[in-house]
Amino acid sequence: MTQSPRVSVILPTYNRADLVRYAIASVLDQTYRDFELIVVDDGSTDETPAVLGSFDDPRLRCFSQPNRGRSSARNFALQHARGDYIAFQDSDDLYLPAKLAKQVQFLDEHPDYVAVYTSASCIGDNGDSLNFVYRASVSGNIYPDIAFFQPVTITLPTVMVRRAVLDEAGVFDEAMHRFEDTDLWRRIAKHHLFGAIDEVTCLVRTHSGNILGSQDPETLAAAVNQYVSKVMTEDRDIPPGILEAGARRLYKHYGFAMATDPRFAPAGKALSDKAALYFQPKVSIVIPVYNGADFLREAIDSAIRQTYPNIEIVVVNDGSNDDGATEAIALSYGERIHYVRKPNGGVASALNRGIREMSGELFSWLSHDDLYSAEKVASQVEFLAEQPDPFNCIVYGDYSVFTGSVENAALIRMPHVAPEDFRYFITEQNILHGCTLLVPKAAFNRSGLFDETLRTTQDYDLWFRLASRHRFVHLPAAGVFARGHEGQGTNRMKDIVLTECNELLGRFAGNLTPEELRRSSSKPATVALLDLAVNLGQRGFIGASRHTTRLAKDAIRNSIQELAERQAKEPDPRSAAAIEELEGVSQLVTALVAERAEALAAAVMAERAAYEARSRALAEAINQPAVVAPPAETEVAPTFFETSVPVALPIERPVTAIIKIKRFVRRAGRRLPASTKALARRLWHRLSVRSGTVA
């Protein structure tokens, strides 16, 4: 009895005699040989039977059936397939030679994954590249990414799936004449993991028979409607936000594409109109205020002017004692706002009360002295709908700062930061503006509310916690006008700001994992901590800088201990040298950062004093309030921190780590006082001679 092949490749064809021969040849030319190729002629009326008969290869098995459509032909082939792994091919596409080999290897090595797909490159009628690649960019639980084609489209020839999962998820839906492949991937991805190989293994052909212009507009629109209806009916166990946002993306994509062809424009507009009906979550704009009669009306008006229709405005009066002036302004808006009055407890308590009172699915904070642009909420909801799992995302954006009139506002552009690096980012920089955020209310259930014991850093404390569980995504658009004025809390509570910032940033540094430090800085974890300590010192947070220095020193000690234990078990001259070198680095760390931080603090204070003097002079000239620089530390107070994640230098490659530490020592040593330069020179010489490395 002949042994069954490990892989069955399924290829349906109908009237493609000119192309199918190349599709078949690309499969037979695979470097992996243990497969069968099952071709089903779906009732072709051209020369396809003769083309199939021209091949003489025992791995090729040909069948024919009356024309019933490609889903029926694939299912017919599956009935005859003998392989444990099933791959798919279309009669107009091509495999590259290593396609099957790469996928078999992946599935063999990853038993938890039931399917794997790859990247695919697009070619034209004559095989020329169209310079477009379908990237295999997501893996694992990919349902939110692929169920509605956007942002990731899995092309059929790139997939290999375990046969057993098809017995569970079902086969191709023969009632569908379009999107039947994505429908199957969706059903599989609901319950199983997909692997991704981001290498091009297939060439997907675009030709006159499959371009948009060759389709019937009404048939295409009906197929889109059918697919959305099917998903909404079958996948009610999927979070509604994922489904609503996905339907919106799909309708928007085809509506836009069809609008480019006048023949398709009416059907395209109908699809675009349907897109607007999906994903319209209610947004609650929460405005905390305390004695804010001077600016409150402007803030509320900017919220009312939002073009996004589904909003509510919650104004929380945090126990104002300005003879009712703040309350009178709020009450003048009647039912247009939801007004709450509470005893004074600080900004965090007012925000938390607003979150508890809000009825929306999304939270947007507006300070009583700031303003929203009219498109702030609408643009953020639209951007959120582009995310595969929108209620697992938090949108942040750019903003403009102004004093006096918004006409003089200066734009602050936020950098794009990978979500997994966001905790490091807000430790290294404090430029994120809380009023630019759009936060799912459900996020507070998972990460908690604002810490009411904090007076000035309650926002960053919460953002750090949220970033542990949710993806912060950047919308490059300014939706907030942030007002600078002398009555701001950061100006009134400078001492509290400084104390809380030192404690907060020191805690942040201690809770960054070694992986976060290495990935975000592209350096060993200890070197990243040293750089972070210097960064904090430059920003005037000397207490946090010293704490981070201690973290780095402790990490070096841990590495010395682990290296010593390894040396005791397996003596190695290189490990002995590494221990001595790390001990020298440990001695240098304290002198390096402590002395440099003191000098930096003095320089920062001098720079800020000069900045404020220039600002006041300019303010007097233009008759506007001066901009006061953020506070710098004038006195270092003892600060206590809790570190929940131990940080250790990666010791698998100690020499690599030492080379990078050497570079840090060399750069920083140039700016050290004379007493410490001698130590740096001695350490540098010892590092170079003993390890035999050159940085």
Contact partners, residue 497, CB within 8 Å, separation at least 6 = 456, 457, 490, 630, 631
Look at residue 646 in the predicted model and tell me its pLDDT.
Answer: 41
Nearest to 59 by CA among 84, 30, 88: 30
Position 456: which residue type? T
Query: Can you give the pLDDT at residue 30?
Result: 98
Calculate the dihedral angle through the C-alpha atoms of 74, 79, 85, 89, rounding to the nearest 10 degrees: -20
Alpha helices in 493-637 (DSSP H): 494-511, 514-521, 525-538, 542-569, 573-622
**What whole-number distance in Å separates Cα of residue 542 and Cα of residue 600?**
9
* pLDDT tens profile 411-420: 999 999 999 9
pLDDT at 562: 74
Between 376 and 125, the more confident residue is: 376
**Predicted local distance difference test score (pLDDT) of residue 559:** 73
pLDDT tens digit string along 344-400?
999 999 999 999 999 999 999 999 999 999 999 999 999 999 999 999 999 999 999
- Asked if 311 and 285 touch (Cβ cutoff 8 Å), the reply is yes
- The string of DSSP codes covering 364-380 is EE--TT-EE-TTHHHHH
Residue with more model confidence, 613 or 478 = 478
Place of tokens 């039977």: 49
> How far apart are the C-alpha atoms of 62 and 71, rounded to whole Å?
17
Residue 632 is predicted with a pLDDT of 39
* Per-residue pLDDT at 650 exceeds 80: no
pLDDT of residue 639: 37
CB hemisphere CA count around 190 (13 angstroms):
18
Residue 608: the pLDDT is: 58
Do 7-210 and 283-485 have matching folds?
Answer: yes
Specify the amino acid at residue 349.
S
Q: Rounded to whole angstroms, how far apart are CA atoms 686 and 695?
A: 13
The predicted pLDDT at position 261 comes to 84
Reference 666, options 185, 658, 258; nearest CA is 658
What residue ranges in 403-468 does DSSP mark as E strands?
A: 410-412, 439-440
Interacting residues of 41 by C-beta distance below 8 A, sequence separation 6+: 13, 14, 48, 49, 52, 62, 63, 64, 65
Q: 48-57, 495-504, 568-577, 676-685: which has the highest mean pLDDT?
A: 48-57
For 374-411, give the DSSP string. TTHHHHHHHHHHTSSSGGGEEEEEEEEEESS-GGG-EE
What was the pLDDT predicted at 260?
A: 84
The reported pLDDT for the residue numbered 540 is 86
Model confidence at 625, pLDDT cuts 50, 70, 90, reads very low
Looking at per-residue pLDDT, the higher value among 595 and 117 belongs to: 117
**In CATH, 283-485 is 3.30.1330.10:** no
More confident residue, 224 or 494: 224
The model's pLDDT over 154-173, given as tens digits with 9 standing for 90+, comes to 999 999 999 999 989 999 99
| H or E element, residue 677 | helix 674-691
What percent of the chain has a predicted confidence (pLDDT) above 90?
Answer: 67
Q: Mean of the per-residue pLDDT values for the chain? A: 86
Question: Domain extents for the chain?
Answer: 7-210, 217-275, 283-485, 509-691
Overall size of the chain counted in residues: 695
Please check the confidence at residue 467 and state whether its pLDDT lies above 60: yes
Question: How high is the pLDDT of residue 580?
Answer: 61
User: How much is the average pLDDT of 141-155?
Assistant: 94
Question: Which pTM value belongs to this model?
Answer: 0.82
With bands split at pLDDT 50, 70 and 90, how would you rate the model's confidence at 505? very high
**Could you tell me which residue, 682 or 532, shows the higher pLDDT?**
532
Whole-number pLDDT of residue 661:
55
pLDDT grade for 596, boundaries at 50, 70 and 90: low
- Residue 125 binned pLDDT confidence (cut-offs 50, 70, 90): confident
Average pLDDT (609-627) is 56
CATH of 7-210, one of 3.90.700.10, 1.10.15.40, 3.90.550.10, 2.30.40.10: 3.90.550.10
